[in-house]
Amino acid sequence: MGEAVFLMIVGMVTVFTVLLLVVGIGNVIIRFVNRFLPEEVAAKPATSAAPAINPNVYSAICSAVSTVTGGKGTVVDVKKL
């Protein structure tokens, strides 16, 4: 009985350690990629003949995106579906 409990504890500690390594290495890779390989800014596409969106709605969308992303997100295009 004692050996079974010991093996269970060793297994649980091993799984926990591996999960911590996966999360830690994943975060390091994400930070490295974001710092040294920034996303390329695509050229702005030509304007289409679609009707323009209300400026108040566009402003509200931009404000919501800025609030949710902490000022890091931007609105590139808004299309009415």
Confidence (pLDDT) at 18: 98
What are the sequence ranges of the domains in the chain?
Answer: 2-39+50-69
List of residues 6+ apart from 80 with CB closer than 8 A: 50, 51, 53
Using DSSP, state whether 35 is helix, strand or coil. Answer: helix
Confidence (pLDDT) at 44: 65
At position 73, the amino acid (one-letter code) is G
Using DSSP, state whether 40 is helix, strand or coil. Answer: coil
pLDDT at 62 over 60: yes
Output 80 or 36, whichever has higher pLDDT. Answer: 36
Using DSSP, state whether 63 is helix, strand or coil. Answer: helix
| pLDDT tens sequence across 22-35 | 999 999 999 999 88
- The CA distance from 42 to 37, in Å, is 15
Confidence (pLDDT) at 54: 83
